[in-house]
Structure 1
């Protein structure tokens, strides 16, 4: 694969964040190739969540730049970044427990098309205009059989799939998945792994994930953080054999 600039959908340069005297992230460089699955891993306290919060503008960087799809987004607000197609799963909390699975996805589609004017007073008929796309999203994440189940009654793994479906309703170019396997039973891990693999067709995925077997199976490239800095980068084989990475995980634990 050529390494020209067009291949890089997300280019992070010297990203840093300080909270008073504490440096949470220091000089992080990150290049995510278009169409890849890229994992961000590291021990607890490594700065992974802070990086995600900086990329999606829940936090403003102290210094550094973030370029997404050729556009400098360093100072843009979170809502504008989502509209550009860089969307973090689970940032929306579009899972309304009393609404059905189908209704949840329909609300997310409505949000994309109409911004924050939800127009809940609109007729039921006009809301059904979103049904076709909502069914497509449910099919994509394997939830068609659960369409009329209240979201609050879904098993945990299916609820995570619904959260991903509501994210897909925003039509992202790039998905940021924040610990998609957290708290999952073994059988759900396999299902969500397969889902992430299928979603990567035509999209770019950056994920923070503690489950290293999932990282090994899914990732094209891995960036390892430790103490807020990039420790190593490469394929899973490369980083897993890196003495610095082994030392960081054994020394701190990856809980």
Structure 2
């Protein structure tokens, strides 16, 4: 579906262009006690793409990500998802609409098995959200779909393992499976490669690529080689503003981006 994306012209008026957009932010701003963390950000995430949000430390990436996922409310601006104004909606509300995020820190139940973690996530579809505490028979009905999700992230052989016993990278894979259990249209990943060894990064990058086949992905990521390999579109933030946008080839040649990264110690 094509959406009307409002863009501010040089004359100060709001105009529209036709884009196949799933998520739009216009004039997005957030201040904390007079400090402007995000300032007038315009962002268009096109359906079916992997879109990366990058920038040096202090660029406003985390704040922007928290605004888009509704863990913060903006001081100014509008956010729409699939044509719905979600600017003041709660995280739970937007998750039900199909916008689901993961976190930097792995969020799984450590004492439950890999399979049990995915079954808990699948409970969202049931009206009785606490059935998993009472009825093993009810849970067994979810095993088929849970198994499919574990296979999708490469954990099919570890379904009976405790989550606590998994390596860090495998815990992140489990978190991805539980996130996919919510059937997101738009999957938002917060630094999915943080803390991973090289071999885990390669495996997780492949998982993200496969997970994006039937959905849209927006990710915040510091690893520029991962960004280059995965992203269709990149938005570079600096000091709360959009510094550059485009493909990796485009933004990596932008002199402002080069200066920003070199100045902050990034390679």
TM-score, normalization by structure 1: 0.95
CA distance in 1: counterparts of 2:266 and 2:163, whole angstroms: 32
What is the match of residue 147 of structure 1? 159
What is the alpha-carbon root mean square deviation over aligned residues? Answer: 1.8
SS at match of 1:59: coil
Shift in Å, 1:126: 1.1
Shift in Å, 1:94: 4.9
Q: How do residues 99-110 of structure 1 correspond to structure 2 at under 5 angstroms?
A: 99-110=112-123
What is the match of residue 71 of structure 1? 84
Equivalent residue in structure 2 for 1:161, among 146, 170, 173:
173
What is the match of residue 87 of structure 1? 100
Shift in Å, 1:219: 0.3
What is the match of residue 238 of structure 1? 250
What is the match of residue 97 of structure 1? 110
Shift in Å, 1:236: 0.4
CA distance in 1: counterparts of 2:220 and 2:152, whole angstroms: 22
Shift in Å, 1:253: 2.3
1:136 aligned to 2:160?
A: no
Q: Which runs of 4+ in 1 moved over 6 A?
A: none
| Equivalent pairs, count | 253
Listed one character per residue, the Cα deviations across residues 159-207 of structure 1 (whole Å, up to 9, x for unaligned) are 0000100100111000000000001000001100111110111100000
5+ residue gaps, structure 2: 4-16
CA distance in 2: counterparts of 1:116 and 1:126, whole angstroms: 11
Listed one character per residue, the Cα deviations across residues 75-119 of structure 1 (whole Å, up to 9, x for unaligned) are 111100001000001389651111000000000001x21368323
1:58 aligned to 2:58?
A: no
Equivalent residue in structure 2 for 1:122, among 130, 134, 141:
134
Q: How do residues 214-253 of structure 1 correspond to structure 2 at under 5 angstroms?
A: 214-253=226-265
5+ residue gaps, structure 1: none
What is the match of residue 41 of structure 1? 54
CA change 1:59–1:25 in 2 (3 A) is same
What is the match of residue 204 of structure 1? 216
SS at match of 2:184: coil
What is the match of residue 183 of structure 2? 171
What is the match of residue 23 of structure 2? 10
The structure, 1 or 2, with the larger RCO (C-alpha pairs under 8 Å, 6+ apart) is 1
CA distance in 2: counterparts of 1:175 and 1:5, whole angstroms: 23
CA distance in 1: counterparts of 2:64 and 2:158, whole angstroms: 34
SS at match of 2:227: helix
